[in-house]
Amino acid sequence: MACVNFAMDVIEDPSGRRGQQGDGSPLIKHYRASELVPAPALPLHQLLKREPAVWAAVQISSGILSIGIGIMFAACFKIDDMLLTLFRVPIISGILFLIAGCFSTLLYRHPALLQMCFHSNIFCLSVAAIGAVLLIVDISRNIGKNKATDLQHQVEILVLCVTVLDMLVSVVLISFIYAEKRRHERK
Protein backbone atom coordinates (compact mmCIF):
# COMPACT_ATOMS: atom_id res chain seq x y z
CA MET A 1 0.00 0.00 0.00
CA ALA A 2 1.44 3.34 -1.02
CA CYS A 3 1.28 6.57 0.92
CA VAL A 4 2.14 9.88 -0.68
CA ASN A 5 2.32 13.42 0.66
CA PHE A 6 1.49 15.80 -2.20
CA ALA A 7 1.48 19.57 -2.23
CA MET A 8 -1.82 20.56 -3.84
CA ASP A 9 -2.73 23.60 -5.93
CA VAL A 10 -6.31 24.88 -5.85
CA ILE A 11 -7.96 25.36 -9.22
CA GLU A 12 -11.20 27.31 -9.29
CA ASP A 13 -14.17 26.52 -11.47
CA PRO A 14 -13.65 28.21 -14.86
CA SER A 15 -17.27 29.36 -14.99
CA GLY A 16 -16.57 31.83 -12.19
CA ARG A 17 -19.63 30.84 -10.16
CA ARG A 18 -19.42 31.66 -6.48
CA GLY A 19 -21.00 30.04 -3.46
CA GLN A 20 -24.50 30.87 -2.25
CA GLN A 21 -23.32 32.69 0.84
CA GLY A 22 -21.55 35.42 -1.09
CA ASP A 23 -18.26 34.89 0.74
CA GLY A 24 -16.33 34.89 -2.50
CA SER A 25 -15.36 31.21 -2.35
CA PRO A 26 -15.73 29.19 -5.51
CA LEU A 27 -18.49 26.61 -5.67
CA ILE A 28 -16.25 23.83 -7.01
CA LYS A 29 -12.60 23.36 -6.08
CA HIS A 30 -10.29 21.01 -7.93
CA TYR A 31 -7.05 19.79 -6.49
CA ARG A 32 -4.08 18.54 -8.45
CA ALA A 33 -0.58 17.60 -7.42
CA SER A 34 1.97 20.29 -8.05
CA GLU A 35 5.00 18.09 -7.37
CA LEU A 36 5.45 14.33 -7.23
CA VAL A 37 7.47 13.12 -4.27
CA PRO A 38 8.94 9.62 -4.58
CA ALA A 39 8.10 7.17 -1.82
CA PRO A 40 10.98 6.09 0.39
CA ALA A 41 12.61 2.81 -0.61
CA LEU A 42 11.68 -0.21 1.47
CA PRO A 43 14.45 -2.05 3.37
CA LEU A 44 14.94 -4.85 0.81
CA HIS A 45 13.53 -3.06 -2.23
CA GLN A 46 15.99 -4.38 -4.84
CA LEU A 47 15.75 -7.93 -3.54
CA LEU A 48 11.96 -7.88 -3.38
CA LYS A 49 11.77 -6.64 -6.98
CA ARG A 50 13.39 -9.94 -8.00
CA GLU A 51 10.54 -11.88 -6.39
CA PRO A 52 12.32 -14.21 -3.93
CA ALA A 53 8.93 -15.58 -2.85
CA VAL A 54 8.45 -17.15 -6.29
CA TRP A 55 11.83 -18.85 -6.03
CA ALA A 56 10.96 -19.88 -2.48
CA ALA A 57 7.69 -21.44 -3.68
CA VAL A 58 9.65 -23.56 -6.15
CA GLN A 59 12.05 -24.46 -3.35
CA ILE A 60 9.21 -25.43 -0.98
CA SER A 61 7.36 -27.52 -3.58
CA SER A 62 10.45 -29.43 -4.63
CA GLY A 63 11.35 -29.91 -0.96
CA ILE A 64 7.93 -31.48 -0.36
CA LEU A 65 8.46 -33.67 -3.44
CA SER A 66 11.87 -34.76 -2.11
CA ILE A 67 10.41 -35.62 1.29
CA GLY A 68 7.66 -37.70 -0.34
CA ILE A 69 10.07 -39.59 -2.58
CA GLY A 70 12.41 -40.15 0.38
CA ILE A 71 9.61 -41.60 2.48
CA MET A 72 8.60 -43.83 -0.42
CA PHE A 73 12.18 -45.10 -0.76
CA ALA A 74 12.52 -45.66 2.98
CA ALA A 75 9.30 -47.68 3.07
CA CYS A 76 9.82 -49.77 -0.09
CA PHE A 77 13.50 -50.69 -0.23
CA LYS A 78 16.06 -52.20 2.11
CA ILE A 79 18.31 -49.71 3.82
CA ASP A 80 21.52 -51.45 2.64
CA ASP A 81 20.65 -51.43 -1.07
CA MET A 82 21.44 -47.81 -1.89
CA LEU A 83 23.24 -44.81 -0.51
CA LEU A 84 20.02 -42.90 -1.14
CA THR A 85 18.17 -44.84 1.55
CA LEU A 86 21.19 -45.35 3.80
CA PHE A 87 21.83 -41.63 4.31
CA ARG A 88 18.20 -40.50 3.83
CA VAL A 89 19.37 -37.97 1.24
CA PRO A 90 15.96 -36.85 -0.11
CA ILE A 91 14.34 -36.61 3.31
CA ILE A 92 17.10 -34.49 4.83
CA SER A 93 17.53 -32.26 1.79
CA GLY A 94 13.75 -31.92 1.41
CA ILE A 95 13.32 -30.76 5.01
CA LEU A 96 16.18 -28.29 4.66
CA PHE A 97 14.79 -26.87 1.42
CA LEU A 98 11.36 -26.57 2.98
CA ILE A 99 12.81 -24.55 5.88
CA ALA A 100 14.96 -22.35 3.61
CA GLY A 101 11.98 -21.72 1.34
CA CYS A 102 9.89 -20.63 4.32
CA PHE A 103 12.63 -18.18 5.37
CA SER A 104 12.79 -16.79 1.83
CA THR A 105 9.03 -16.35 1.78
CA LEU A 106 9.07 -14.48 5.09
CA LEU A 107 11.51 -11.86 3.79
CA TYR A 108 8.59 -9.65 2.70
CA ARG A 109 7.25 -9.33 6.22
CA HIS A 110 10.46 -9.65 8.21
CA PRO A 111 13.54 -8.15 6.50
CA ALA A 112 15.62 -9.03 9.57
CA LEU A 113 15.60 -12.67 8.39
CA LEU A 114 17.93 -11.80 5.49
CA GLN A 115 21.06 -13.17 7.17
CA MET A 116 19.30 -16.35 8.33
CA CYS A 117 17.87 -16.88 4.85
CA PHE A 118 21.33 -16.44 3.34
CA HIS A 119 22.95 -18.97 5.68
CA SER A 120 20.12 -21.49 5.38
CA ASN A 121 20.38 -21.42 1.57
CA ILE A 122 24.15 -21.93 1.75
CA PHE A 123 23.65 -24.85 4.13
CA CYS A 124 20.98 -26.34 1.84
CA LEU A 125 23.27 -25.97 -1.15
CA SER A 126 26.13 -27.77 0.58
CA VAL A 127 23.93 -30.62 1.85
CA ALA A 128 22.31 -30.99 -1.58
CA ALA A 129 25.73 -31.06 -3.26
CA ILE A 130 26.83 -33.89 -0.95
CA GLY A 131 23.53 -35.66 -1.62
CA ALA A 132 23.94 -35.25 -5.38
CA VAL A 133 27.41 -36.78 -5.23
CA LEU A 134 26.04 -39.72 -3.23
CA LEU A 135 23.22 -40.15 -5.75
CA ILE A 136 25.60 -40.07 -8.71
CA VAL A 137 27.85 -42.67 -7.04
CA ASP A 138 24.83 -44.84 -6.28
CA ILE A 139 23.44 -44.58 -9.82
CA SER A 140 26.80 -45.30 -11.46
CA ARG A 141 27.44 -48.24 -9.13
CA ASN A 142 24.18 -50.02 -9.93
CA ILE A 143 23.66 -49.29 -13.64
CA GLY A 144 22.49 -52.31 -15.63
CA LYS A 145 22.62 -54.89 -12.84
CA ASN A 146 19.14 -56.37 -13.38
CA LYS A 147 15.72 -55.50 -14.72
CA ALA A 148 14.04 -55.48 -11.28
CA THR A 149 15.92 -52.36 -10.20
CA ASP A 150 15.40 -50.32 -13.40
CA LEU A 151 12.39 -48.55 -11.92
CA GLN A 152 14.35 -47.97 -8.75
CA HIS A 153 17.17 -46.31 -10.71
CA GLN A 154 14.75 -44.21 -12.73
CA VAL A 155 13.31 -42.84 -9.50
CA GLU A 156 16.87 -42.23 -8.27
CA ILE A 157 17.46 -40.16 -11.40
CA LEU A 158 14.25 -38.26 -10.64
CA VAL A 159 15.52 -37.55 -7.12
CA LEU A 160 18.81 -36.37 -8.61
CA CYS A 161 16.96 -34.01 -10.99
CA VAL A 162 14.89 -32.58 -8.13
CA THR A 163 18.04 -32.15 -6.03
CA VAL A 164 19.81 -30.34 -8.88
CA LEU A 165 16.74 -28.11 -9.33
CA ASP A 166 16.86 -27.25 -5.63
CA MET A 167 20.55 -26.52 -5.89
CA LEU A 168 19.95 -24.13 -8.80
CA VAL A 169 17.18 -22.33 -6.92
CA SER A 170 19.46 -22.00 -3.89
CA VAL A 171 22.25 -20.59 -6.05
CA VAL A 172 19.85 -17.99 -7.49
CA LEU A 173 18.57 -17.00 -4.05
CA ILE A 174 22.10 -16.83 -2.64
CA SER A 175 23.20 -14.56 -5.47
CA PHE A 176 20.16 -12.27 -5.00
CA ILE A 177 20.69 -12.04 -1.24
CA TYR A 178 24.44 -11.52 -1.62
CA ALA A 179 23.84 -8.67 -4.07
CA GLU A 180 21.41 -7.08 -1.60
CA LYS A 181 23.90 -7.43 1.26
CA ARG A 182 26.63 -5.83 -0.86
CA ARG A 183 24.32 -2.96 -1.76
CA HIS A 184 23.62 -2.30 1.93
CA GLU A 185 27.33 -2.43 2.78
CA ARG A 186 28.06 0.26 0.18
CA LYS A 187 25.55 2.65 1.73
Domain boundaries, the chain: 1-40, 45-186
pLDDT above 60: residue 147: no
pLDDT at 17: 52
pLDDT above 60: residue 92: yes
The confidence band for 95, taking pLDDT boundaries of 50, 70 and 90, is very high
The DSSP secondary structure of the chain, one letter per residue, reads ------EEEEEE-TT--B-TT-SS-BS-EEEEEEE--PPPPPTTHHHHHT-HHHHHHHHHHHHHHHHHHHHHHHHHS-TTT-HHHHTTHHHHHHHHHHHHHHHHHTTTT-GGGHHHHHHHHHHHHHHHHHHHHHHHHHHHHSTTS-GGGHHHHHHHHHHHHHHHHHHHHHHHHHHHHHHHHHHHHH-
pTM assigned to the model: 0.69
Question: pLDDT, tens digit, for every residue of 156-183?
Answer: 888 889 889 889 989 988 988 888 888 8
